Amino acid sequence: MLSPRQLFLQHQAQTTDFPLLLEVEKAEGVYMYGPAGQRYLDMISGIGVSNVGHRHPRVLQAIHEQLDKYLHLMVYGEIVQAPPAQLAHALAQTLPEGLDNVYFVSSGSEAVEGACKLAKRFTGRTELIAFNNAYHGSTQGSLSLNGSENFKRAFRPLLPDVRHIRHNQLEDLDQITSRTAAVILETVQGEAGVRVPTKEYLQALRQRCTEVGALLVLDEIQSGFGRTGTFWAFEHFNIVPDILTCAKGMGGGMPIGAFISRQEIMHSLKNDPMLGHITTFGGHPVSCAASLATLRVIQEEGLLAQVEAKANRFKERLVHPAVREIRNLGLMMAVEFDSFDTLKRIIDKAILKGVLTDWFLFCDNSMRIAPPLTITFPEIDTACDLVLEAIVEEVG
Ligand code: PMP
């Protein structure tokens, strides 16, 4: 009998030269457990997914209750089902007035696809503007928006009429014109290594979009659902998007995504020709039930109020000459070292010590720190101690 690790290597498509190869049998709260009982502090939350921790009891309960009723019934939007309807309502209540129409999908990439189709349909324009080093997904439309040429080269031709401008550069805003259907921006760039734009920039971007009639799409797939200390990251900047995309942390560990907009914009999807967007699994009742429970946990367990203090604790503790910079908004953090080589050695050593960290797709000298928001201060101290030990052993 081959072990799961052997089967994984033989039969599961490999997508990286550096798979973590960590075998996990169980996960609970901020911990993952290996088959021999090894315990790992999870500092990445499945890339911003387990914001309320692994297997949060309220999320599990909501899933169980839905399992006893029904699983899938019908493609999205045909049958009235309580979980998506109640989740859409709850999401609208977290958002500024008017952003109350939700289209559920099953992943982040799909949410971005839907948002871009919606913007094109509503404006009747075709140009999409995205940013250098942006990450919006892996399907061909969302891939077209990514700001790293290395990821796109092999797959061209991609979407036409996509233009990239520099992130956080006021001078580039005049490239957004009355030809532009939408500008899509990660409120905080994730895979670029946590790049936080200035408030001045985001407000000017918002204003420019309004002036030329382009829709502003904020991608909060990584920064949403409490990750930065507010429910949505855009709340830090006092701006409101026309379309919002979310996924990842939204499901509390279940697959779900959404794009959200105002009624008058969303309605353009159902106008001639009919059925502007179709999905079989979008709004899956089990995922919606899990998502509603996740939203309630974030709201009712006081998680948001502690995010900044927890982030500050990491910053106070992770002090070492090899740490060049820490960038963050809340618990979306990047710890920068001099090179990928150094970082990779530290990450590998930290795993042996029982702490799981990672790097970023477009920023391979920075360590990703994005633990469950439920992490306690003692757990933060332990994680920092172990990462520091790994740093000292690898670089002195
Ligand atoms: N947008 C952002 C900002 C992301 O971080 C990601 C995933 N890393 C995506 C979109 C794509 O999400 P998914 O992998 O669920 O398709």
Q: Give residue 18's pLDDT.
A: 76
Peptide bond into 157 cis (omega under 30): yes
> Counting Cβ atoms within 10 Å, is residue 184 exposed (0-12), middle (13-18) or buried (19+)?
buried
| Residue 269 pLDDT grade (very low, low, confident, very high; cuts 50, 70, 90) | confident
Q: Distance (Å, rounded) from C-alpha 121 to C-alpha 115? A: 10
What Å distances lie between residue 183 and 51, 150, 341, CA to CA?
Answer: 27, 22, 35
Task: Choose between 252 and 1: higher pLDDT.
Answer: 252
Place of tokens 């500092």: 43
Instruction: Order across the sheet with 39-42: list the strands.
Output: 26-28, 31-33, 39-42, 355-356
pTM of the full structure? 0.97
Statement to judge: residues 9 and 151 lie in one domain:
no
What is the atom index within ligand 1 of the atom nearest the CA of 112? Answer: 10
Number of domains present in the structure of the chain: 2
Q: Say how many Å lie between the CA of residue 142 and the centre of ligand 1.
A: 9
Mean pLDDT, range 258-272, rounded to an integer: 91
Secondary structure element (H or E) that encloses residue 11, with its range: helix 4-11
Statement to judge: residues 295 and 349 lie in one domain:
no
N residues, the chain: 396
Statement to judge: residues 284 and 197 lie in one domain:
yes
Statement to judge: residues 197 and 328 lie in one domain:
no
Q: Which of 51, 131, 135 to mutate to test the pocket of ligand 1 (most atoms within 8 A of CB)?
A: 135
Residue of the CA atom closest to atom 7 of ligand 1: 137
Residue 349 scores a pLDDT above 90: yes
Q: Distance (Å, rounded) from C-alpha 358 to C-alpha 366? A: 8
Alpha helices in 216-302 (DSSP H): 263-266, 285-300
Q: Say how many Å lie between the CA of residue 272 and the centre of ligand 1.
A: 30
Secondary structure element (H or E) that encloses residue 105, with its range: strand 101-105
| Residue 384 pLDDT grade (very low, low, confident, very high; cuts 50, 70, 90) | very high
| Residue 20 pLDDT grade (very low, low, confident, very high; cuts 50, 70, 90) | confident
What is the atom index within ligand 1 of the atom nearest the CA of 247? Answer: 15
* CATH number of domain containing 253: 3.40.640.10
Residue of the CA atom closest to atom 12 of ligand 1: 108
Domain boundary among the residues 252, 275, 300 is at 300
Q: Give residue 273's pLDDT.
A: 62
Statement to judge: residues 216 and 309 lie in one domain:
no
| Contacts of 346 by beta carbon, 8 Å cutoff, 6+ apart | 337, 367, 387, 390, 391, 394, 395
Statement to judge: residues 149 and 174 lie in one domain:
yes
| Residue 77 pLDDT grade (very low, low, confident, very high; cuts 50, 70, 90) | confident
Statement to judge: residues 70 and 214 lie in one domain:
yes
Domain boundary among the residues 271, 300, 329 is at 300
Q: Which of 222, 228, 329, 332 to mutate to test the pocket of ligand 1 (most atoms within 8 A of CB)?
A: 222
Please give the structure tokens belonging to residue 266. Answer: 């969303």
Task: Choose between 219 and 277: higher pLDDT.
Answer: 219
Residue of the CA atom closest to atom 15 of ligand 1: 108
DSSP 294: H
Mean pLDDT, range 359-381, rounded to an integer: 97
Asked which of 150-154, 170-174, 241-245, 345-349 is least confident by mean pLDDT, the reply is: 150-154
| Residue 16 pLDDT grade (very low, low, confident, very high; cuts 50, 70, 90) | confident
Statement to judge: residues 387 and 339 lie in one domain:
yes
Domain boundary among the residues 268, 300, 332 is at 300
Place of tokens 């967007």: 277
Q: Distance (Å, rounded) from C-alpha 362 to C-alpha 342? A: 16
What is the atom index within ligand 1 of the atom nearest the CA of 107? Answer: 15
Statement to judge: residues 286 and 272 lie in one domain:
yes
Statement to judge: residues 103 and 29 lie in one domain:
no
Task: Give residue ranges with CB within 6 A of ligand 1.
Answer: 47, 107-109, 112, 135-138, 186, 190-191, 219, 221-222, 247
Q: Distance (Å, rounded) from C-alpha 366 to C-alpha 359? A: 6
Q: Which of 112, 131, 221 to mutate to test the pocket of ligand 1 (most atoms within 8 A of CB)?
A: 221
| Average pLDDT along the chain | 96
Residue of the CA atom closest to atom 5 of ligand 1: 222
Statement to judge: residues 72 and 195 lie in one domain:
yes
Residue span of the structural domain in which 338 resides: 4-56+305-395
Q: Say how many Å lie between the CA of residue 8 and the centre of ligand 1.
A: 24
182-221 tens-digit pLDDT: 999 999 999 999 999 999 999 999 999 999 999 999 999 9
What is the atom index within ligand 1 of the atom nearest the CA of 137? Answer: 11
* CATH number of domain containing 50: 3.90.1150.10
Percent of the chain at pLDDT exceeding 70: 99
Q: Say how many Å lie between the CA of residue 107 and the centre of ligand 1.
A: 8
Using the Cα atoms of residue 359, residue 363, residue 364 and residue 367 in order, give the sign of their dihedral.
negative
Statement to judge: residues 222 and 325 lie in one domain:
no
